[in-house]
Structure 1
Amino acid sequence: MRLIISEKANAARKIAQFLAEGPVKEGKHRSVPYHTFTWRGEECVSVGLKGHVLNPEYPEEYSNWQKVDPRELIDARILKSVSEKGVAAAVRSLAKKADRVIIATDFDREGELIGVEALSLAFEANPALMDHVERARFSALTKGEVTRAFENLVEVSRELADAGEARQDIDLIWGATLTRWVSRAVKRYGSAFLSVGRVQSPTLVLIAERELERRAFVPEPYWEVEARLQNGGGPFVARHARGRFKEEAEARRALENLSETAVVTEVRQREATRPAPAPFNTTAFLTAAANIGVSPSRAARIAEDLYTEGYISYPRTDNTVYPESLDLREVLGFLAEVEGVGDYAGRLLGAGRLTPTRGRRQTTDHPPIYPTGRASRAELREDQWKIYQLVVRRFLATLSGPAKTLRTTLRFESGGEPLVAGGTVVTEEGWLAVYHYGRRRDEELPRLSEGDEVRVAEAELLAKETQPPGRYGQGRLIRLMEDLGLGTKATRPGIIQNLYDRGYIHGDPIVPTETGMAVAKALKDFASEIASHEMTARLEKSMDAISEGRVSKDSVVEESRELLRRVYDHLESSEEKFADIVWNGIRGDETLGPCPNCGRNLVVRRNRRNRKRFAGCEGYPECRTTFPLPQKGDIIPLGTACEACGLPEIKVLGGRRPWVTCINMDCPKKQEQRRSREETQAGGEEPSEGQRDRKRLEKSTT
């Protein structure tokens, strides 16, 4: 019997369906399903794991954070414990009856390691299998791809698995050692611990450094002169050709000089071609998903589900060039039946030769992300359909012609002052017809010629300020992490999500909390190696060297341990200063704003008896001012005051979405919202999301 081990249960089911030369018999080992079928005249059993079945951990004697010196973790033995006991038992049981085993997990470092972990369980039950192991590598869960992979079985790559295991071990050693040290130094235990990670921490430093740039930025005032011109039709906007005026008096003189009419002095038109985008690799996909409102961590999970259901190809890839083996016409054939894009796919199919775009990166492990199966809106959840459509439309865009635009620039003279208006329109849609994400609206300008006169309908002076550098959105941060060698295509979304979960950041674009800022500063000051992307990038190159067989896993892990020893020595000598910096940040997140009675700070406090939190004046007992606070979710001070009552506003993280409120339950705005809600409910209408938020606040503060 051949035992086929895949990474997930639905992958195991699909492999059985694709390969079976007859019926598939369903079975279960306790609660773990497996599938028995015949392939090439031989009995096969396909079983799915739940990702990693073994997890690295320290022995039990190291579990007490307060009693065990974190330094001991640097050289402590790492055990591999069974994380999915039911799955492990099923693998062992089925392995006893097998004479060959085929690993069919995802083809990357992580997947290779998961497969090798499963092999260790199989060998425990049946050592004879050690000489009868093969590997099936495929990039899409389709009948053609799976059949091809099983007809061309290869060997398991121990080097690739070693690279994955080295990362696991190094992340555990660094993360556990430094997380415990920081939490002990600051005396934050339990769910309030402060996490540190080999990739997480330099990513946090990037976010914090951008915030420091913004705080150090000194805005400079400038003025612009804007005019609304009219030529029979609707008005269009023109601005003074000088752009920004640094002196208000100069700008005001230019405004006053404008006459009631403006004469066209120049008409300039320029055509431009926008080439179609390159195929999706993981980073480009996650960035595009973030731009349509799906966070990288959520997009990665959805893409994995779509892959295992056979709708898209493997979503973790660096490749941006379709392989010659990919049958583009076959893909267009089933896309011609997909809602919303069917007609477009049909036109491409009938257009003759297909010439896909090519990106800069070409690898041989996986193709770029492309659709592998037809899906309907009814078959998928709303978020899955959104991501499926993104992948489908990107694929169609890569087979489309360029888009063409026409940029028109009109220059005017009015009262001796030069004005300019510009507008861009799409003249040939090309790929923009199907890949509409981020497409700007056409900016139409009237047809004018030199010497034409138009009316100055209105003119005004706009006072503005220069703006600080923008915060990173999640998509932009993913790209920056890739550029700096932070993490991998598989781990970056989870790293960003972990920063959210630990309360270091919030919002998108990303805003660091004061705790996040303080942890980043303390690490940068006293543990620069963990705060620097250079060290992490060097380790990533070492992982590549392991996977290529140039260095051993053990040597890379030991080198990492030696570096951590030096970092730890430096931290130990700076414990008090480190803790002071972090506590300043924690206190910053607990300071909500000024007390309305005495002017001192309102801070987050907890009732000694029931541990419920509330806002209280730091001047207690002289000032006994208090306000109720939501009992669920993280509270982020916004540094702003409510327009209606003047009390501090907070953001509450938790539930379906973050929400903003002031801390005053008697705020006139809240009273108005209560009345509105009562009237709405009396009329039988569904309350709005804002009304539901207010109701949630009232419940959570009681």
Structure 2
Amino acid sequence: MNVSVWLLRRASMLPQPWRCFSRAAEEVALQRIRKVLCVAEKNDAARGIAELLSNRRMRRREGFSKFNKIYEYDYQMFGQNVTMVMTSVSGHLLAHDFIMPFRKWHSCNPLALFDAEIEKYCPENYLDIKRTLEREIQQCQALVIWTDCDREGENIGFEIIHVCRAVKPNLQVFRARFSEITPHAVRAACENLTQPDQRTSDAVDVRQELDLRIGTFQTLRLQKIFPDILADQLISYGSCQFPTLGFVVERFKAIQAFVPEAFYKIKVTHDHEDGSVVFNWKRNRLFNHTACLVLYQMCMEDPVATVVDVVSKPKSKWRPLPLDTVELEKLASRKLKINAKETMTIAEKLYTKGFISYPRTETNIFPKELNLSALVEQQTQDPNWGGFAQRILDEGGPTPRSGTKSDQAHPPIHPTKYASNLQGNEQRLYEFIVRHFLACCSQDAKGQETTVEIDIANEQFIAQGLMILARNYLEVYPYDKWSDKVIPLYQKGSRFQPTTVEMVDGETSPPLLLTEADLIALMEKHGIGTDATHAEHIETIKTRMYVGLTADQRFLPGQLGMGLVEGYDSMGYEMSKPDLRAELEADLKLICEGKKDKSVVLQQQVQKYKQVFIEAVARANK
């Protein structure tokens, strides 16, 4: 929505006599704007946006913080020439804490922390950034928020607004919305400024306040119960990190409790000039040795196979869906062996450099207005995948599959600019994103699958063969495997002598410890955290030494992690289970959608957790 349209809508909400006056007044206010303060979430983003909007003609100067520079340039905005002053914060500018005397919460009654008043303040290490904003806004008539367009970014935007309006209460504020730092995207954001979204910011405030109350209560209680044990060890409780730890412990305990069970099955093979065909028993396996032995002996009385059915049909291997954050984290962990935290750190760098779109998205559907052909065309110059990109364009253009998810904010993750000079894991992750994008835009792999069913003494066995006819997306996407499986030509009704008919035994296997990809999938399934915070919660339980990693990068709970989960579970309420946090995440979404009020959710959630903890403490003291 451009500024004029926004003014019209805002004016239309007023009583009729005031509408014309209001619109005229607002347009006069816009005409008085000569200098605009723009604030991004990080210095790299501020520099990148300023370079694009100024055609690299910006003037750089210092702020009070040596890490957050100021970039000035002239630009056409609000129908006139203005001076743009672009600077940045470094993530959240403000933090929540209890007011005095509860600020020193280590010495108070833990339960009092559920009701103690909370305030937002600027931590000492960010005071220089705050001073820069306070100084710069004095000379500006408008503020444009350029933080990341997600929940956290919206909240950071309101922190910036809070600081600037403390200096200029009537300051005009606008929001730039964008999904990539490219010339078209940032210019479109300038032409279609909107208002900041208070509801989205409120959801973050609720989550931050609740995390503070719950975390400090539990941390304090643990330290009061085990003062000597925890003197040199940082132990904290978080309503996301505990369920995350709970998944790891639950899988470990399932493995410990697993009792292997013997099973038996019949296996048939048939050698041919190109190899050997394995026919699998239709019953799969039996857990009764005698029953399997009887059936095996019947087969051995006359071990001749009769072909009862031969079915040949087309088979496809689907190209991948467009890439969202959760899939990026899981696939990078599985295929590239890069953990989720490092993946998101690298992805943020690639985004701020303008190489990829915003990496925190829940969307796996490309919007119709996105020019996919232009994005594919950018990649035709690459020596490794350029030929494949050109073939997509020559054969009818991009035809991506559509998923089922959209956050209505950002498109799926995709390359926005060709890069040839990246190094190390930056290059590997960029290449993965490009190859995934090109695979999405290609065609499914095509093959012909043949299924042969045979009968030996009224027992059925099945073998399958595959002939790949067109690899299509697999040519550019080495992360998926699909191989030919040769099977000879069998005729229905024909008979042959199998090479072997064997009765084999085995044991059921316990589940494996969780990989990072497994853990992220469980967190998403149970609503623990968001696509933007999964990596952070996993990193927390690692750095707190609640879990470790095996040689093959699977999560193993440490003694401390096991003790915490089992200790809480013994109180009678399974606080390591995901239910409580999942309910909160659902409520936060409703706040964003305007279906629930911030204060109501906060009150309900505080009371819910408070009651749970009162009951848990009472049980523990019995």
Contact 1:22-1:38 within 8 A present in 2 as well: no
Judging changes above 3 Å, is the alpha-carbon distance between structure 1 residues 201 and 223 closer, same or farther for their aligned structure 2 residues? same
Distance in 1 of aligned mates of 2:537 and 2:98: 22
Match of 1:654 in 2: none
Please give the per-residue CA displacement for 1:105-148, whole angstroms capped at 9, x wherever unaligned.
01111001111112223334x315x4321110101111100000
Match of 1:196 in 2: 237
Contact 1:258-1:417 within 8 A present in 2 as well: no
Match of 2:72 in 1: 36
Correspondent of 1:89 among 124, 131, 146: 131
State the Cα RMSD in Å: 2.9
Correspondent of 2:350 among 306, 311, 318: 306
Correspondent of 1:510 among 545, 555, 579: 555
| 1:102 maps to 2:144 | yes
Match of 1:382 in 2: 424
Higher mean C-alpha deviation, range 4-13 or range 270-279? 270-279
| 1:217 maps to 2:258 | yes
Correspondent of 2:509 among 441, 455, 467: 467
| 1:179 maps to 2:229 | no
Please give the per-residue CA displacement for 1:225-246, whole angstroms capped at 9, x wherever unaligned.
4455322333343444543243
Distance in 2 of aligned mates of 1:265 and 1:86: 81
Higher mean C-alpha deviation, range 435-444 or range 165-174? 435-444
Contact 1:260-1:457 within 8 A present in 2 as well: no
- The alpha carbon displacement at 1:191 in A equals 5.0
Judging changes above 3 Å, is the alpha-carbon distance between structure 1 residues 22 and 212 closer, same or farther for their aligned structure 2 residues? closer
Correspondent of 2:339 among 275, 282, 295: 295
Distance in 2 of aligned mates of 1:414 and 1:39: 82
The residue identity in structure 2 corresponding to 1:223 is Y
- The alpha carbon displacement at 1:180 in A equals 1.9
Query: In percent, how many aligned pairs have the same letter?
Result: 28
The residue identity in structure 2 corresponding to 1:362 is S
What TM-score does the superposition give when structure 2 sets the normalisation length? Answer: 0.84
If asked which structure has higher relative contact order (CA below 8 Å, sep 6+), I would say 2
Distance in 1 of aligned mates of 2:140 and 2:573: 52
Contact 1:21-1:38 within 8 A present in 2 as well: no
| 1:78 maps to 2:140 | no
- The alpha carbon displacement at 1:324 in A equals 1.9
For structure 2, the residue ranges without an aligned partner over 5 or more in a row are: 1-34
Correspondent of 1:237 among 278, 301, 304: 278
| 1:273 maps to 2:309 | no
Match of 1:163 in 2: 203
Judging changes above 3 Å, is the alpha-carbon distance between structure 1 residues 191 and 555 closer, same or farther for their aligned structure 2 residues? farther
Distance in 2 of aligned mates of 1:273 and 1:102: 49
| 1:575 maps to 2:615 | no
- The alpha carbon displacement at 1:411 in A equals 4.1
- The alpha carbon displacement at 1:149 in A equals 0.3
- The alpha carbon displacement at 1:432 in A equals 2.7
- The alpha carbon displacement at 1:8 in A equals 0.9
Q: Provide the secondary structure at the position in 2 that maps to 1:489.
A: coil
- The alpha carbon displacement at 1:185 in A equals 1.8
| 1:18 maps to 2:45 | no
- The alpha carbon displacement at 1:342 in A equals 1.2
- The alpha carbon displacement at 1:354 in A equals 3.7
Correspondent of 2:585 among 540, 545, 551: 540
Match of 1:145 in 2: 185
Judging changes above 3 Å, is the alpha-carbon distance between structure 1 residues 542 and 416 closer, same or farther for their aligned structure 2 residues? closer
| 1:371 maps to 2:415 | yes
Distance in 2 of aligned mates of 1:330 and 1:533: 43
Please give the per-residue CA displacement for 1:82-114, whole angstroms capped at 9, x wherever unaligned.
242332232223223322211100111100111
For structure 1, the residue ranges without an aligned partner over 5 or more in a row are: 578-702
Please give the per-residue CA displacement for 1:531-563, whole angstroms capped at 9, x wherever unaligned.
443322222232233333444433322322222
Contact 2:242-2:576 within 8 A present in 1 as well: yes
Contact 1:137-1:149 within 8 A present in 2 as well: yes
Distance in 2 of aligned mates of 1:414 and 1:22: 77
Match of 2:287 in 1: 246
Contact 2:199-2:594 within 8 A present in 1 as well: yes
Match of 1:286 in 2: 329
Please give the per-residue CA displacement for 1:24-79, whole angstroms capped at 9, x wherever unaligned.
11222251322111111321121122111212233575466763322232222323
Q: How does 1:294-693 map to 2 (within 5 A)?
A: 294-376=338-420, 379-412=421-454, 419-449=461-491, 461-507=503-549, 508-526=553-571, 528=573, 530-575=575-620
The residue identity in structure 2 corresponding to 1:288 is L
Higher mean C-alpha deviation, range 97-106 or range 204-213? 204-213
What TM-score does the superposition give when structure 1 sets the normalisation length? Answer: 0.75
Judging changes above 3 Å, is the alpha-carbon distance between structure 1 residues 151 and 258 closer, same or farther for their aligned structure 2 residues? farther
Match of 1:113 in 2: 155
Distance in 2 of aligned mates of 1:99 and 1:63: 37
Please give the per-residue CA displacement for 1:406-460, whole angstroms capped at 9, x wherever unaligned.
3223345679976543233432223333233232433222344457777766665
